[in-house]
């Protein structure tokens, strides 16, 4: 089998299990500064799938690509710690406020700059927007086939990959020629943990932006070991059309947002009385939890 070039799309996401009411700006966009962030769970599965292929086919390379604010460089470092070969960050204020159409446009511009590639992997969905749209939209823009909800790689030959997909009512085994895009389901194996050696090797990896506030030690280290400098691409670097990115390129707009957070896990204690049960049901309906 020939070695593959794999690109893994990974997103830094707010930890949606702990969204406070102050985390949304008045215009409905996320106030990322107010939330702790995590590596999107499905994307860790996608990374594992890629690393698993690399284990099977020596010489395979895994490149992590993320679009996000400067802080999203954490994703690249985390990928290095777990075994990714390369990482690239797309970051520019002008990309902000993107919906899935603009996000996929931007990512595809980055993927094309990384070409040639055999396989593009994404998570099935991100836990903040929860749309599961970015993967298929990238596949369309790259004009390659897509295979969604992948759970396991069954077989790889020189020109084809056979995988099992997890559907809501069963499973399906399909084959696709290369290059193709696959979205990875959370039921696939969980990601291996960090290697201590890789953590040592990459803990000083930084983007240009991060290096601006770095000390002498870090700067000279980056001079000696250029691989530590994480490539950071702007609108111009990926030759993106400003009309197609960020808010400008996003047809969907958030008109209004209704917060339905209950005071963070302060439980309400109820009895089995009619009054208590009716009150609860009314609250649930009012908060659109049921209805």
Partner 1 sequence: MEKIKSVLVYCEVENQKVADISQELLSAGKRLAEKLGSPLEAMIFGSDLHGIESQIAPFGVDRLFIGNSLRLEPYRTLPHAALAAHILKEEDPQIVLFGATSVGRDLAPRLASKLNCGLTADCTILDIGDHFVKKEKKEYKDLLYAIRPAFGGSIMANIINWDMHPQMATVREGVMKKEIFDEHYNTEIVEVDVHSIVNEEDFVVEIIDRQIKESGVNLKEAPIIVAGGYGVGSKENFDYLKELAELLGGEVGGSRAAVDAGFIEHDRQIGQTGTTVRPKLYIAAGISGAIQHTAGMQDASMIISINNDPEAPINKLADYVIHGDLGVVVPKMIKYYKQNAK
Ligand X SMILES: Cc1cc2nc3c(=O)[nH]c(=O)nc-3n(C[C@H](O)[C@H](O)[C@H](O)COP(=O)(O)OP(=O)(O)OC[C@H]3O[C@@H](n4cnc5c(N)ncnc54)[C@H](O)[C@@H]3O)c2cc1C
# binding residues, partner 1 (CB under 8 A):
75
- Pick the piece of the chain touching partner 1 (CB under 8 A) from 89-97, 162-170, 197-205, 230-238: 162-170
Q: What is the spatial distance between Cα 64 and Cα 80, in angstroms, rounded to a whole number?
A: 9
Q: Does 16 bind partner 1 (CB under 8 A)?
A: yes
103 interface partner picked from ligand X, partner 1, none, CB below 5 to 8 A per type: ligand X
Q: Does 125 bind ligand X (CB under 6 A)?
A: yes
Comparison of 54 and 222: residue with beta carbon closer to ligand X: 54
67 interface partner picked from partner 1, ligand X, none, CB below 5 to 8 A per type: ligand X
**DSSP per position, 114-156:** H---SEEEEES--TTT----HHHHHHHHHT--EEEEEEEEEEE
- Write out the binding residues for ligand X, residues 10-29 only, by CB under 6 A: 10-11
Q: Does 265 bind partner 1 (CB under 8 A)?
A: yes
Nearest to 242 by CA among 142, 94, 101: 94
Q: Does 14 bind partner 1 (CB under 8 A)?
A: yes
- Write out the binding residues for partner 1, residues 185-244 only, by CB under 8 A: none
Comparison of 151 and 232: residue with beta carbon closer to partner 1: 151
- Beta pairing, strands 229-230 & 170-177: unpaired
- Beta pairing, strands 119-123 & 86-90: unpaired
Q: What is the spatial distance between Cα 239 and Cα 260, in angstroms, rounded to a whole number?
A: 40
Q: Does 123 bind ligand X (CB under 6 A)?
A: yes
Dihedral, 171, 177, 183, 189 alpha carbons, nearest 10: 60
Beta bridge partners of 87: 64
Q: Does 122 bind partner 1 (CB under 8 A)?
A: no
Q: What is the spatial distance between Cα 222 and Cα 229, in angstroms, rounded to a whole number?
A: 6
In the complex, which residues of this chain contact ligand X (CB under 6 A)?
9-11, 30, 40, 42-43, 66-68, 98-101, 103, 107, 122-123, 125-126, 128-135, 252, 254
């Amino acid at each position: 089998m020939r070695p593959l070039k794999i690109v893994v799309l990974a997103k830094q996401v707010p930890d949606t299990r702990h969204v406070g009411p102050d985390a949304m700006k008045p215009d409905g966009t996320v106030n990322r500064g107010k939330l702790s962030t995590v590596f999107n769970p499905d994307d860790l599965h996608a990374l594992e799938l890629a690393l698993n292929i690399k284990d099977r086919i020596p010489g395979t390379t895994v490149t992590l690509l993320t679009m996000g604010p400067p802080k999203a460089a954490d994703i690249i470092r985390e990928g290095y710690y777990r075994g990714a070969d390369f990482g690239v960050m797309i970051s520019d204020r002008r990309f902000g406020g993107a919906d899935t159409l603009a996000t996929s446009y931007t990512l595809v511009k980055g993927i094309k700059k990384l070409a040639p590639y055999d396989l593009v992997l994404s998570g099935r969905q991100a836990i903040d927007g929860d749309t599961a749209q970015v993967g298929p939209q990238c596949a369309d823009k790259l004009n390659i086939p897509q295979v969604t909800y992948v759970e396991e790689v069954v077989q790889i030959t020189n020109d084809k990959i056979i995988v099992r997909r997890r559907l809501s009512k069963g499973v399906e085994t399909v084959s696709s020629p290369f290059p193709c895009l696959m979205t990875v389901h959370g039921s696939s194996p969980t990601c291996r943990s960090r290697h201590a050696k890789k953590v040592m090797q990459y803990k000083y990896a930084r983007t240009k932006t991060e290096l601006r506030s770095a000390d002498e030690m870090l700067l000279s280290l980056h001079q000696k070991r250029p691989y530590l400098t994480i490539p950071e691409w702007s609108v111009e670097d990926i030759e993106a059309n400003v009309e197609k990115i960020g808010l400008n390129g996003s047809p969907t707009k958030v008109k209004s947002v209704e917060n339905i957070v209950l005071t963070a896990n302060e439980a309400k204690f109820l009895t089995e009385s009619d009054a208590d049960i009716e009150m609860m049901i009314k609250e649930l309906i009012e908060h659109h939890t049921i209805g």
